Amino acid sequence: MLTTKNWRQYLEEGFTLTSSGTSGTPKTIFQAPEKLAAANRIAIEAQRITPASRVLTVCRMTHAGGALAQTLPALSIGAHVDIVPFNAFSFLHNIVGYTHTHLTPAHCELVMQTRSFPKADLAGLFVACGSDRVSFEMIEAFVARGAVFMCNWGMTEIGPITINTVFDSLEKVMEYHAQAITGASLLGDRFYCETKVEDGVLYVRGDCCVYKDWLCTGDQVVVNEHDSMYYLGRANID
């Protein structure tokens, strides 16, 4: 398992991850070194990770969100990383002094339900959130407490940081919320891979993808008039 001590071996040799299963049956995926390097470059750029960053990882290391979203990219450029199990009740205390963390929507919901969340000061914290539907109410709650919040879509096969939008003000949250597609959830308007939509289904490819050709994600999507992509549900393509 990836740790803050053995990460160089993983980066040099590659390693196997299990997909989360949120987009279908869980798969075992080998991430080759060149794919990891490409995914790291994207994650660092998209999340403004620098050698001075301090990352608190609470997601499991067996999944891309835990290992690849911030942990390995940050370690690869000399940033400080701590890995701890997620605990909603201690999260707001533990996050003090950190600049980055990656949460699932389920994590966010649990943190929002704690008594300390309404008074939390998250200024200076970059929160990446993905692996399931991210609501505008969730985005607004974290941004209102000072966090920069990145709504993100990714897959183990293409990399965890792939399509996203960064929200750094309540005004931007309100603007995007007003443009939202009813019944759909935002994926983003920043694209770190090639995309195409055929018969309403998203296909992706790029340097960080484990496949050479277009990968059918199985996700039904739609793009609004402002070029933001939204998730509708899973396509019946089996």
pLDDT band at 19 (very low <50, low <70, confident <90, very high): low
Is residue 25 predicted with pLDDT exceeding 80? Answer: no
Backbone φ and ψ of 33, nearest 5° = -55, -40
Instruction: List pLDDT tens digits, range 61-106.
Output: 888 889 999 999 999 999 999 999 999 999 999 999 999 999 999 9
Q: What is the mean pLDDT of the chain?
A: 94
Mean pLDDT value across residues 179-184: 95
Instruction: List pLDDT tens digits, range 106-143.
Output: 999 999 999 999 999 999 999 999 989 999 999 999 99
Q: What is the pLDDT of residue 20?
A: 58
pLDDT band at 238 (very low <50, low <70, confident <90, very high): low
Q: What is the pLDDT of residue 63?
A: 81
Q: Where are the domains of the chain?
A: 7-184
Return the CATH architecture of domain 7-184. 3-Layer(aba) Sandwich (3.40)
Outline where the chain has alpha helix (H): 7-13, 33-47, 64-66, 72-76, 88-94, 105-112, 136-143, 170-178
Name the 3-class secondary structure at 101: strand
Is residue 215 predicted with pLDDT exceeding 70? Answer: yes
Mean pLDDT value across residues 163-171: 98
CB 188 within 8 A of CB 151: yes
Mean pLDDT value across residues 10-33: 79
